[in-house]
Amino acid sequence: MNNRFLVLGLFAFTITFNSSPSQAWQTATLERPASVSQQDRLSNTASSKMNMIASVHPLATRAGLDAFAQGGNAVDAAIATALTLGVVDNYNSGIGGGCFILIRNSAGEFFAIDGREMAPSAAHKNLFRDVQGSISGPSRTGALASGVPGALKAYGQAVEKHGRLSLKSALRMGAKAANEGFPITRAYADNLQGTKRQMSRFPATAKIFFREDPSSKQIRPYEFDEKLVQKDLAATYANIAQKGTDWFYHGEFAKATDKWMKENGGVMTFEDVSNYQTVDRTPVRTTYRGYEIVGFPPPSSGGVHVAQVLNILEQFDLKQLYDDEPAKMYHVVAEAMKLAFADRAYWLGDPDFVEVPLGLIDKNYAIELAQRIDLSTVVASQHGTPPNADSEFFERHTTHVAAADADGNWVALTTTVNTTFGAKYVIPGTGVIMNNQMDDFVAIPGKPNAFGLVGGEKNSVEAGKRPLSSMSPTIVLRDGQPILTVGAAGGPKIITEVLWAIINHLDLGMPIGEAIAQPRLHHQWAPTDLLLESNFDPNVVKGLTSRNHSIRRSSGMGICQGISFDPVTKTFTGAYDPRTTGKAMGQ
């Protein structure tokens, strides 16, 4: 099988946030430690003048570096990394899920490829509403939980249109890891243990991820440092390498999916998989203190609300607030987050189905929202009404990869199967873990999903619709030159992780590694608590409490990756989040 492939490149990538529904608001995945040491903050970066890739797994990062070595650009490296992560980190992402890819090419042009999952053609508004009017479990586990996966289609498009190598090349390292096996990380083992009850329901899943314990003869999930081999997934990668994405969307994978769905109460059909298409979107753009911020448009809420929060914060001197009293700055940022998430719940949805007002990123609207913030106390928030809300609209959490090269190609790629191991099942014979992205729709307005997010009718289930996402791949420019790319994993915390990386780097002057490693807080309007990582300065906590914040603590929240560029020294600095075992590398 190995002879069928060429070596693939790597892409900087951040893993998706995954936890069980009951834990999703309070905690991040089990790989995140309670605190990040100063030594960790100093060792989570790498520098190069040629190119850079950052990822949550060393094997994936090496795949990206190999792509660069073969003459590939940042796009080739990113896709190679993403496909390898779909093997070694597939509790977070994979070709059974979806993605957003933001590309800036060497000519300075931007492209936004929407590979988000789509609701099957038989999906409808009441799909997950039972007779009591509550959200039913099938939106999170099993056949009904999955949207039609789009990641592979988007990867193929990115490589074909913007890369130098081939999709076949990009698949090689992932196929090798699946065929020969790899020792699973502690995070992988912990997530297997945490989802074993749901995963054991599906024989094809258990066959891959469970084994007989030699001592007790009982079936158990694989444990830390044991080698996991995925022969079916290796064969799937080999078939795609040989026959292209048609094997997946129009051939054997689509047929196997149709068969399994019919046998297990699902509604996804061969035609649903065959009819999947990516969408070319227009990026969201705003400015912030002389920088240009480029993000992903709806159905991502990330680009909109990163821009919106930065527009609000532009009305404040954050550095001065921090110097006066750190808690004052953190309070202002938390209140700005809250205002944006209130708007998210009301206004956001798939722009191909609902009207999402452009006014959400209007500078004057941001000034209006900023005036609602009281520096001394928490203020109750509801959604606002942006200008031209009835006439101007946008065009119709997860792993993140960041990649850049000296030719001027930059990539921010975020991909996911949603919660840990997605819908917990694989399509038999393929090794592909399927997403549970249908839970990102609003089953009932006002009722929270797995991440505690609430929403309205604009994000209700509808055939062919793409659920709202928090994925926030972002590129920052100064005088037309990219100087930063960042993205994250963590459900709704993706948005605030990206914000903190930008604020810490641009406002507070921290190097990218330190900017990512800093303790983070998160507010998403509902629930009303302010979530803080457990290693926050006690004096900041005291200052926030005095401003009437209701505080909850978390051992960690999400994973962030980034790359910065110094235009004077012409040096890339890649950073992975020290909350996990990642790697940044360049030639």
- Known catalytic residues are 398
Q: What is the DSSP letter of 146?
A: P
Whether the Cβ atoms of residue 14 and residue 400 lie closer than 8 Å to each other? yes
Residue type, 374: D
Contact criterion met (CB below 8 Å) for 23 and 40: no
**Rounded Cα gap, residues 567 and 485, in angstroms:** 14
Query: What is the C-alpha to C-alpha distance for residues 317 and 329, in angstroms, rounded to an integer?
Result: 9
Q: What does the block give as tokens for 333?
A: 């940022």
Residues in the chain: 587
φ, ψ of residue 222 to 5 degrees: the values are -60, 150
Cα–Cα distance between 120 and 464 in angstroms, integer? 6
Q: Return the structure tokens found at 432.
A: 């592909």
CA distance 106 to 128: 45
Query: Is the distance from CB of 377 to CB of 466 less than 8 angstroms?
Result: no
Helix intervals (H) in 212-351: 231-243, 246-249, 252-263, 270-274, 302-313, 318-324, 326-347
Handedness of CA 82, 85, 86, 91 (dihedral sign): negative
- From residue 360, alpha-carbon distances to 344, 354, 560 in Å are 9, 15, 25
On whether the CB atoms of residues 469 and 453 are closer than 8 A, the answer is no
Whether a cis peptide bond, with omega within 30° of 0, leads into 299 is yes
Q: Which residues pair with 393 in a beta bridge?
A: 357
The conformation of residue 480, written as its DSSP 8-state character, comes to: T
User: CA gyration radius for the chain?
Assistant: 22
Q: Give the residue among 91, 86, 85, 32 at the shortest CA–CA distance from 59.
A: 85
Which residue is it, tokens 């100064």? Answer: 478
Residue 256 phi, psi dihedral angles, 5° rounding: -65, -35
Backbone angles phi, psi at 179, to 5 degrees: -75, -45
Contact 178, 230 (CB under 8 A): yes
Rounded to 5, what percent of the chain is helix, strand, coil? 35, 20, 45
